[in-house]
Amino acid sequence: MAKDKGPRRPRAETPKGFRDYFGAEVSERKAMLDTIAEVYHRYGFDPLETSAVETVEALGKFLPDVDRPNEGVFAWQDEDQDWLALRYDLTAPLARVAAQYRNDLPTPYRRYAMGPVWRNEKPGPGRFRQFYQCDADTVGSGSVAADAEICAMLADALEEVGIPRGDYVVRVNNRKVLNGVLQAIFGYLEGNEDAQLGAAHDTATKRDAVLRTIDKFDKVGESGVRELLGKGRLDASGAYIDGVGLDEGQTDRVIAFLTSRGATTFDTLANLRGAVGDSHIGAEGVSELEQIAALLDAQGYGPDRIVIDPSVVRGLGYYTGPVYEAELTFEILDEKGRKRQFGSVAGGGRYDDLVKRFTGQSVPATGVSIGVDRLLAALRAKGRVQGDGRGPVVVTVMDRDRMADYQAMATDLRRAGIRAEVYLGNPKNFGNQLKYADKRNSPVAIIQGGDEAARGVVQVKDLYLGAKIAAEASHEEWRAQPAQTEVARADLVAEVRRILGQG
């Protein structure tokens, strides 16, 4: 027989893959994003806040990164049977806005957006289904000055949030240069009316294989790429990976492209010109990089901050022109205690057809996305987070009937701009009040019993110093309690200021 059960209590849990952010976690991220927003604003970018919910139709399957081609969205049907979904990035909503308001927005339209996005994918360690993105895009400008501007803005943003010059580099590449290299190898596919269809198909397949191989450059290095482009390669697990089957001359061109970074921008551009041969699109790509370098140079951004670097391959498959990536070059220890470079914290580039899905008209665009959690982790690693993690001054309650006096103390402190509160739990156990102050990371506790009230004084306890003494001092020193001073009630604010270093 079924046993009669009472109603089950709901579980107090976030859904799988979601999390909450408390106190300093919230304020540190906010301080970082506020600083970035200030930089973006100074560059003429306007904030845009789209709704979290889009029609699935408007969202499409449009992800700005080849690494994640078909991630799921959280979707549901509304009462009209239309499918709605949570945005999975900030680029798809920008595309919708650029199309919806195309007659009202300025052209070009510079906008930044910051906010959560949602991905319906398997959660894992450090991998959440809701996370922040921070994007800046220029829609409607085909000029490489737009790309150069975003690189400069990115460098400024990194420095202003607290990454010192020398600890980061923005690396710039161009998809057109790669296209030129491919043309130099395979000849022109487009517009080549004479090409036999079969041969063209074969070449297209090989081009894709070359692109996939280039993407592995970061992992397998020059020799690995050389093997994979040629006859093939034994991978780490002992399996044999078939090669693309390029001849040595073709392989040399790809390698020349990937390793073309020279000692100076001038050298790099010369190497690239060699790699693209007589390809028209390749020459255009090199010329664009040259213009970007010249624009940045005129603005004072030398190769110590922004550098032309053809080894940037991430995103090359997706973007159509300039591609850029910000890398943090200082070292951190990984989980296994080994030193490694912190790595990439932002990336972007030029992409076409942002709006074309909606209107049929091509609109050029370029933009960058900062990895909010990555950059915040970097700032924490460098001890450069902004935001005050300090708790409030806690006015303790010795005498429940004199709550108004205690509140007046907190009010005086707040009027002086000092974060302060009265303990509002059960005041019976004084130890609990100090434990509470400890949990809040409070710098100071205020104490006033009946005796002190009668004498018009308060005890001011320096909790940070107190903790230090408790950890380091002998029993005798501890009992002397130098971390606690008695001052006149009228001097309360001044004494707290002194302890907080605001004296």
Residues 432-461 that bind a second copy (CB under 8 A): 436, 439-440
Q: Residue 339, interface with a second copy (CB under 8 A)? A: no
Cα 96 to Cα 90, 119, 286, 369, distances in angstroms? 10, 19, 32, 18
What is the closest distance, in whole angstroms, from the C-beta atom of residue 447 to a second copy in the complex? Answer: 17
Cα 346 to Cα 134, 237, 287, 343, 389, distances in angstroms? 9, 32, 24, 10, 26
Sheet hosting strand 306-308, strand order edge to edge: 109-118, 130-139, 365-370, 339-351, 322-333, 168-174, 306-308
What is the closest distance, in whole angstroms, from the C-beta atom of residue 322 to a second copy in the complex? Answer: 14
What is the closest distance, in whole angstroms, from the C-beta atom of residue 467 to a second copy in the complex? Answer: 17
Per-residue buried b or exposed e for 298-325, using 16+ beta carbons within 10 Å of the residue's own CB: eeebebebbbbbbebbbbbbbbbbbbbb
**Candidates 35-43, 221-229, 236-244, 454-462; binding stretch for a second copy (CB under 8 A):** 35-43
Q: Residue 160, interface with a second copy (CB under 8 A)? A: no
Q: Residue 419, interface with a second copy (CB under 8 A)? A: yes
Residues from 165 through 194 that contact a second copy (CB under 8 A): none
Cα 49 to Cα 53, 118, 171, distances in angstroms? 12, 15, 29
Residues from 206 through 245 that contact a second copy (CB under 8 A): none
Give every CB contact of residue 105 below 8 A, 6+ residues apart in sequence.
Answer: 97, 98, 139
Residue 180 tokens read as: 């030129």
Q: Residue 63, interface with a second copy (CB under 8 A)? A: no
Contact with a second copy (CB under 8 A) among 1, 2, 20, 197: 20
The residue whose two tokens read 């605001």 is: 502
Residues from 121 through 140 that contact a second copy (CB under 8 A): 129-130, 138, 140
Contact with a second copy (CB under 8 A) among 1, 2, 5, 11: 11
Q: Residue 53, interface with a second copy (CB under 8 A)? A: yes
Contact with a second copy (CB under 8 A) among 187, 221, 302, 425: 425
What is the closest distance, in whole angstroms, from the C-beta atom of residue 490 to a second copy in the complex? Answer: 16
Distance CA(442)–CA(210), nearest Å, equals 59
Q: Residue 149, interface with a second copy (CB under 8 A)? A: yes
- Cβ–Cβ < 8 Å for 500, 487: no
DSSP code, position 103: T
Give every CB contact of residue 194 below 8 A, 6+ residues apart in sequence.
Answer: none
Task: Give burial (CB, 10 Å; 0-12/13-18/19+) of 180.
Answer: buried
Contact with a second copy (CB under 8 A) among 1, 2, 15, 474: 15
Q: Residue 52, interface with a second copy (CB under 8 A)? A: yes
Q: Residue 41, interface with a second copy (CB under 8 A)? A: yes
Distance CA(15)–CA(120), nearest Å, equals 12
Q: Residue 392, interface with a second copy (CB under 8 A)? A: yes
Q: 376 in helix, strand or coil?
A: helix
Q: Residue 54, interface with a second copy (CB under 8 A)? A: yes
What is the closest distance, in whole angstroms, from the C-beta atom of residue 417 to a second copy in the complex? Answer: 7
Q: How many residues bind a second copy (CB under 8 A)?
A: 98
Contact with a second copy (CB under 8 A) among 47, 164, 245, 302: 47
For residue 214, the Cα-to-chain-centroid distance in whole angstroms is 25
Q: Closer CB to a second copy, residue 37 or residue 66? A: 37
**Candidates 36-44, 270-278, 464-472, 477-485; binding stretch for a second copy (CB under 8 A):** 36-44
Q: Residue 360, interface with a second copy (CB under 8 A)? A: yes
In 3D, which of 248, 363, 260 has the Cα closest to residue 313?
Answer: 260
Give residue 43's identity as a one-letter amino acid code: Y
Q: Residue 414, interface with a second copy (CB under 8 A)? A: yes
Interface characters, 67-106, with a second copy (x: CB under 8 A): -------xxx-x-x-x-x-x---------xx-xxx----x
Q: Residue 482, interface with a second copy (CB under 8 A)? A: no
Q: Residue 467, interface with a second copy (CB under 8 A)? A: no
What is the closest distance, in whole angstroms, from the C-beta atom of residue 297 to a second copy in the complex? Answer: 8
Interface characters, 289-328, with a second copy (x: CB under 8 A): --x--xx-xxxx----------------------------
In 3D, which of 68, 181, 143 has the Cα closest to residue 350?
Answer: 143
Helix (H) or strand (E) holding 133, with range, is strand 130-139
Distance CA(465)–CA(484), nearest Å, equals 9
Q: Residue 359, interface with a second copy (CB under 8 A)? A: yes
Cis amide prior to 108 (ω within 30 degrees):
yes
**Candidates 148-156, 310-318, 330-338, 492-500; binding stretch for a second copy (CB under 8 A):** 148-156
**Candidates 4-12, 265-273, 305-313, 346-354; binding stretch for a second copy (CB under 8 A):** 4-12
